[in-house]
């Protein structure tokens, strides 16, 4: 599927290339902020094979609402979970995880940051090469 075909499938705009956070991604992603306050919500789109580094949301967690394509979510020490439109991932605070597109597939999700007084995201190492073993 091409980028333009995927854009027709996704219900939200893919936005602009996510250059501000590119250092925390393997591959190219796009960011379309939808709401800034009181609860930050953004549509994040991943090109095929793109995924973010391992990271931890401190204080508040994160909720992912999958909207288009096929992707993966994985918590540290657990197997990767395949994601499809309509899937919801509730990520508690302090859980090390990553998410992104499946190899060969575009993927979008709404990322909802749960507000917290001592909140913040700690970016960690890239996902190991065993990502490429996923189908």
| Residue 25, helix vs strand vs coil | strand
Provide the pLDDT confidence category of residue 133 given band limits of 50, 70 and 90.
Answer: confident
Prediction pTM value: 0.93
> Which DSSP category does 42 fall into?
E
Distance CA 101, CA 116 (A): 28
Provide the pLDDT confidence category of residue 9 given band limits of 50, 70 and 90.
Answer: confident
Count of CB atoms situated within 10 Å of the CB of 69: 23
**For strand 29-35 and strand 16-17, is the pairing parallel, antiparallel, or unpaired?**
antiparallel
Mean pLDDT for the chain overall: 93
> Which DSSP category does 135 fall into?
-
Q: How many domains does the chain have?
A: 1
Altogether, the residues listed in the chain come to a count of 135
Q: Which domain range does residue 67 map to?
A: 3-95+104-133
State pLDDT tens for residues 83-101.
Answer: 999 999 999 999 999 999 9
Distance CA 18, CA 22 (A): 6
State pLDDT tens for residues 50-83.
Answer: 999 999 999 899 999 999 999 999 999 999 999 9
CB contact at 8 A, 75 and 99: no
CATH code (residue 73): 2.60.120.10
């Amino acid at each position: 599927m091409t980028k333009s075909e995927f854009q027709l499938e996704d219900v939200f705009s893919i936005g602009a290339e996510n250059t501000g956070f590119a250092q925390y991604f393997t591959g190219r992603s796009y960011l379309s902020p939808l709401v800034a306050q009181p609860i930050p919500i953004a549509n994040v789109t991943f090109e095929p094979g793109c995924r973010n580094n391992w990271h931890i949301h401190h204080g508040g967690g994160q909720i992912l609402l999958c909207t288009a394509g096929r992707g993966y979510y994985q918590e540290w020490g657990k197997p990767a979970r395949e994601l499809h439109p309509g899937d919801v991932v509730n990520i508690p605070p302090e859980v090390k995880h990553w998410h992104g597109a499946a190899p060969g597939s575009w993927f979008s999700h709404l990322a909802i940051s749960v507000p917290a007084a001592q909140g913040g995201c700690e970016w960690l190492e890239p996902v190991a090469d065993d990502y490429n073993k996923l189908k």
